[in-house]
C-alpha cells in the first residue's frame, strides 16, 4: 500500500467527495446535520479546519446564512468547489495546513472540524488544539466530528501500521501523508483537555462517526 501525500489524495477525489461522504460513510450525512445544530445560536465568526468542499457549511448556512467563516484546507480543488457552492457567503478560504496557520487569539465564537483529525498523532493534535483553544473567544466552542474508535487495541493497530508504512516508504517525519489513525473517544477527550479546553464531552455517535464538543470557559 503506497501512501499518498494528503493534498494529492484529496485532490484526486475532489469530484466524488461529496457523494462518497454523504452515502458511503456511516453517520456522516447525519453528522453534518447534528454538527450544524450544535453551532452556538449567537455565533458570528466560525473557524472551519479542513473545510474541504464545505459539506458541513452546506448545513450550517441553512440556518446561519450570515456567518463569517474562515476555512482552511490543504487542497485547493476542494476549496474551489466550496467557493463555487457559496459565492454569496462571507468566506475567507486559506489553502494551507492548519498546523502552520496563525489562528489568532480570541477571534472566533466557534471552531469546527469534520473527518479530518483522524490522520494525526497525539502530539500534533495537542499542539493544534492549544492553538484552536486560544483562537476562541471566552466560552467559545470547538465542535469536532470525526472517525473515532472505542478500543485502545484498534487505535494502537492503526498507529503502528502507519508508522510501519511510513518507515518502509521513507516518508520523513512531519510530512502529511494520508492514512487513518483514529483515536479512542476517551483519548480524544483527554487530548483536548491537555491542550487547555476546560471541558470536552461526547454528545453524539453513529457508527464510528462521533461528535465531541469542547469549551474554553
Q: Which three cell numbers stand for residue 132?
A: 484552536
- pLDDT, average across residues 135-146: 97
pLDDT for position 171: 96
Q: Which of 185, 210, 215, 187 is nearest to 200 (CA)?
A: 215
Q: What kind and span of H or E run contains 114?
A: strand 108-114
Residue 199 has pLDDT above 90, yes or no: yes
Q: Which three cell numbers stand for residue 128?
A: 493544534
- Got the DSSP string for 165-199? HHHHTTPPTT--B----PPBHHHHHHHHHHTT-SE
Residue 1 has pLDDT above 90, yes or no: no
pLDDT in tens, 38-57: 999 999 999 999 999 999 99
The full set of domain ranges for the chain reads: 1-90, 124-138+149-203
Q: What is the distance between the alpha carbons of residues 186 and 212, in angstroms, rounded to a whole number?
A: 10
pLDDT for position 29: 96
pLDDT in tens, 108-125: 999 999 999 999 999 999
Q: What is the distance between the alpha carbons of residues 91 and 96, in angstroms, rounded to a whole number?
A: 15
Q: Give the CB-side neighbour count of residue 135, counting CA atoms within 13 A.
A: 22
Map residue 46 onto helix, strand or coil: strand
- In CATH terms, the fold of domain 1-90 is Rossmann fold (3.40.50)
22: left (phi > 0), else alpha (psi -120 to 50), else beta? Answer: alpha
- pLDDT, average across residues 17-45: 96
Residue 217 has pLDDT above 90, yes or no: no
pLDDT in tens, 158-198: 999 999 999 999 999 989 999 999 999 999 999 999 999 99
Q: Which of 108, 118, 116, 76 is nearest to 93 (CA)?
A: 76
Quote the Cα angle for 164-13-69, to 5°: 100
Residue 202 has pLDDT above 90, yes or no: yes
Q: What is the distance between the alpha carbons of residues 5 and 178, in angstroms, rounded to a whole number?
A: 6
pLDDT for position 46: 98
Question: pTM of the entire structure?
Answer: 0.96
CB 108 within 8 Å of CB 131: no
- pLDDT, average across residues 9-28: 94
pLDDT in tens, 56-72: 999 999 999 999 999 99
Mean pLDDT over the full length of the chain: 96
Residue 95 has pLDDT above 90, yes or no: yes
- Per cent of the chain over pLDDT 70 is 100
Q: What is the distance between the alpha carbons of residues 1 and 142, in angstroms, rounded to a whole number?
A: 34
Q: What is the distance between the alpha carbons of residues 195 and 107, in angstroms, rounded to a whole number?
A: 18
Nearest 10 degrees: Cα torsion 28, 96, 217, 137:
-120
pLDDT for position 24: 95
Amino acid at each position: 500500500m503506497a501512501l499518498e501525500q494528503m493534498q494529492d489524495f484529496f485532490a484526486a477525489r475532489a469530484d466524488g467527495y461529496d457523494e462518497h461522504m454523504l452515502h458511503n460513510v456511516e453517520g456522516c450525512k447525519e453528522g453534518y446535520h447534528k454538527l450544524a445544530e450544535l453551532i452556538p445560536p449567537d455565533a458570528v465568526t466560525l473557524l472551519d479546519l479542513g473545510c474541504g468542499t464545505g459539506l458541513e457549511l452546506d448545513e450550517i448556512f441553512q440556518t446561519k446564512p450570515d456567518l463569517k467563516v474562515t476555512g482552511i484546507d490543504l487542497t485547493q480543488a476542494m476549496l474551489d468547489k466550496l467557493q463555487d457552492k457559496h459565492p454569496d457567503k462571507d468566506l475567507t478560504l486559506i489553502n494551507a495546513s492548519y498546523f502552520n496557520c496563525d489562528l489568532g487569539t480570541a477571534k472566533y465564537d466557534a471552531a469546527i472540524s469534520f473527518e479530518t483529525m483522524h490522520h494525526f498523532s497525539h502530539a500534533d493534535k495537542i499542539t493544534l488544539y492549544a492553538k484552536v483553544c486560544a483562537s476562541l473567544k471566552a466560552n467559545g466552542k470547538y465542535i469536532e466530528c470525526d472517525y473515532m474508535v472505542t478500543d485502545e487495541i484498534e487505535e494502537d493497530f492503526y498507529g503502528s501500521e502507519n508508522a510501519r508504512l511510513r518507515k518502509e516508504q521513507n516518508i520523513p517525519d512531519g510530512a502529511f501523508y494520508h492514512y487513518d489513525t483514529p483515536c479512542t473517544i476517551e483519548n480524544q477527550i483527554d487530548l483536548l483537555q491537555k491542550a487547555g479546553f476546560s471541558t470536552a464531552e461526547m454528545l453524539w455517535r453513529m457508527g464510528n462517526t462521533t461528535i465531541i464538543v469542547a469549551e474554553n470557559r
